[in-house]
Amino acid sequence: MNIVYVSDQYWPSVSGVPVSMDSFKDNFTQRGHKISLIVPDYPEAVVWDKEHNSKNIFRFRSRSIFFNKENRLVYKSEKKKIYERLDLIRPDIIHIHTEFALAKLVIKYAKKNNIPLVLTAHTNWEELINEYIKFIPHRVARFYCRSILRRIFNKVDVVIVPTTLMESRLNQYYIQSPIQVIPTGINVSHFSRNDEEMELTHNLILESLSERIKDHKTLLYVGRLGKEKNIKFLIDAFSQLVKSNSDIKLIIVGDGPAKSELENYTKQLSLDGRVIFTGYVQRNMLADFYSMAHIFIFASKVESQGLVILESMTCGTPVVAIGEMGTRALMASGDGGFMVDDDLDLFIEKVELLLNDTQIHKIKSAEALKESKNWGSDIMTSKVLTLYEDLLTEKRILHEIRH
């Protein structure tokens, strides 16, 4: 099958969107399908593509967005080049991973050429929009967001969402297109290590950190450093935890627009020696960070899924997280950690329990490993493949009826 992925966001821009796309792309490629990507160009893209030996990635001229310099939108003038590339690819399916500029362009192409259209709603824009456009009142921004998304979603054949909670949210938009819940799966082999391999890789990758975390239990956060991730909540919790747990440190892995602010905040709380900011870490190194951590902590309330929670569980590291949106869906079973309300004291209580009760930590670690197996990427890829095949069958039948 010839599949085209389309997104206004891809590497080297860091977020869950390219992570999800790559997870499915790798699995489809292993099954003999061809995936081509239509994505924006970035100033660093040439270097990134070369370092990662990227294939079938087609980038088009783009501009940064005035309210969010990290992300970019492809110029409308690239339409002809995009259409020419699609003509050469001759896709069976077009799978859109964006709701913006590129989505509009390829929807027109797909409709004209009778190509099935799938769209994955990765982002809870309704909750995030005011993080980017602060000068618009929340109610106005929310209405504007719903209006734009409704128009896009109603133009595709199927909308995929990662959780039932996200499905409930989109049902409030009165979308006519069918919605299917298919989470992004985790490739367990990317995060599994036997003890010997883990020790060797751990020593190589974390050498610069080894002395700083020696004889300490580590709390870990992995992800984008943006205000919407609620990382200050984690730092506040840590500032209370160190008062009764002198042997702990917090490692914050990732980069983003809030990094400088967060670093200054830790200094204000006199935690700069205890909180370690690593900056961006290559994905193939993340397993080592998850594996050496005692507890993974997460406080975002706007996640559509929260893949880092699954990644942590795959490494057997228990999680303490605020249970809202995608996090609530991932941790609904209660296995692998603790899901709590947006309450600092309760969050601290559960972290302390895992820090100080060896037996509870052992139980939750075992649960995490077991729970992560329910979210394997092979299972999710099969579901998407079935969806593609059903759409292609429907398109052929409709075409035969009309002709």
- Residues 235-272 have pLDDT tens digits of 999 999 999 998 999 999 999 889 999 999 999 999 98
Q: Where are the domains of the chain?
A: 2-185+377-402, 188-375
Section 301-318 average pLDDT? 92
Return the axis-axis angle of helices 358-372 and 307-314, rounded to nearest 10°.
110
Section 98-107 average pLDDT? 92
Section 6-28 average pLDDT? 92
CATH architecture for segment(s) 188-375: 3-Layer(aba) Sandwich (3.40)
Confidence category of residue 20, pLDDT binned at 50, 70, 90:
very high
Structure pTM? 0.86
CATH of 2-185+377-402, one of 3.40.50.2300, 3.30.70.1290, 3.40.50.2000, 3.40.50.12240: 3.40.50.2000
Q: How far is CA 402 from CA 267, 395, 398, in A?
A: 68, 11, 6
Judge whether 2-185+377-402 and 188-375 match in fold.
yes
- Residues 41-68 have pLDDT tens digits of 999 999 999 988 888 999 999 998 765 6
Burial 268-285 (b: 16+ CB within 10 A, else e): eeebeebbbbbeeeeeee
Confidence category of residue 198, pLDDT binned at 50, 70, 90:
very low
Section 207-228 average pLDDT? 86
Section 126-144 average pLDDT? 73
* Sequence-ordered list of residues with C-beta below 8 angstroms from that of 242, at least 6 positions apart, any chain: 248, 271, 274
